[in-house]
Amino acid sequence: MAEAAIPILEMKNVGKIYAQQGRAIEALRGANLRVKKGEFICLIGASGCGKSTLLRLAAGFETATSGDNLMWGVPISGPGPSRGMVFQDYGLFPWLNVHDNIGFGPKSRGRTKAETRDTVDRFIELVGLQNFADVFPHQLSGGMKQRVAIARVLANDAEVVLMDEPFGALDAMTRERLQDELVEIWSRTGLTVLFVTHSIEEAIFLADRVVVMSPGPGRIDNEYRIDLPRPRDIASAEFNQWRRLLSSQLHSHHARKAG
């Protein structure tokens, strides 16, 4: 089989059960997902439907209870630099400045000072923080911290960026600006992005494909290929058609859960 035909990430009939206070909590059951190299996929669904669990499995932070969890057809056995995680709370090292936060991965992997400097310079420019290289995280706005977090993942040679509601804590204007910037970074780098969000509008704006998860236990319910041209206009009739469709999907999940 040609490598191009192998998805960069694939979950086959994946299940995940947690032990909690002597009880078994089934977070995922029979989840199937194929992610092609270069795709931008958003996962949406109600709280507790397993979105973050699925992302943590892809990152290698969790082990599936059943099924196959693969990268390039090889079982994921733990975390690795090829899969970088960006969290809502940034996860920056407070004792390192912007330059050293971004350079932490290359330096840890034995890159020379010159290689590390070149890598940091490239990605610090990509996220527009050239004037903040010597600044520490506590001196940055939330949007700037998230730019640093994204650059740090990219500098570590990530092929896949896993994002767990990365813009959820930001104000609306900063969130919109970072959405635009993330699409620009994605289009320039050819990255593969798996992005968890509660926002239907954010998912439609960002994704090639929106994957809808249903709760109790979590599973993939539907997938939709978003065929809108980029850049996307959130006020357009076509965008609102997608918003209505996906909103009705999620409301039906809530109704089934309540029933």
| Same domain, residue pair 58 and 121 | no
Residue 145 maps to a domain: yes
Residue 255 lies in a domain: no
Residue 34 has which token pair?
Answer: 């194929």
DSSP 3-state assignment of 84? strand
Joined tokens for residue 21: 């206070």
The C-alpha atoms of residue 61 and residue 50 are separated, in whole angstroms, by 14
Q: Write down the pLDDT at residue 253.
A: 62
Residue 30, token pair as written in the block? 């029979």
Lowest mean pLDDT among 80-84, 89-93, 248-252: 248-252
Confidence bin at 1 (pLDDT 50/70/90): very low
Mean pLDDT of 65-88: 93
pLDDT single digits (tens) 124-139: 998 999 999 999 999 9
Q: What is the domain-level CATH number for residue 34?
A: 3.40.50.300
What percent of the chain is modeled with pLDDT above 70? 96
Q: Calculate mean pLDDT across residues 70-77.
A: 96
Verify that 168 and 53 share a domain, yes or no: yes
pLDDT per residue as tens digits for the range 29-64: 999 999 999 999 999 988 878 899 999 999 999 999
For strands 209-214 and 9-20, give the pairing. Answer: unpaired
> If DSSP codes are grouped into helix, strand and coil, which group holds residue 126?
helix
Residues 21 and 77 in one domain: yes
Q: Rounded to the nearest 10 degrees, what angle do helices 142-155 and 98-108 cross at?
A: 20
In a domain, 163, yes or no: yes
73's tokens: 């057809």
Q: What pLDDT shows up at residue 71?
A: 96
Domain that holds residue 19: 1-82+159-228
Instruction: Based on the fold, state whether residues 14 and 118 are members of the same structural domain.
Output: no
Residue 238 lies in a domain: no
Together in a domain, 123 and 224: no
Q: What pTM value is reported for the model? A: 0.91
What's residue 259's pLDDT?
44
How many independent structural domains does the chain possess?
2
DSSP class of 17? E
Query: Which band of pLDDT confidence, cut at 50, 70 and 90, is reported for residue 255?
Result: low
Q: Are residues 116 and 147 in the same domain?
A: yes
Strand (E) or helix (H) holding 191: none
Matching residue, tokens 């290698």: 60
- Same-domain check for residues 140 and 208: no
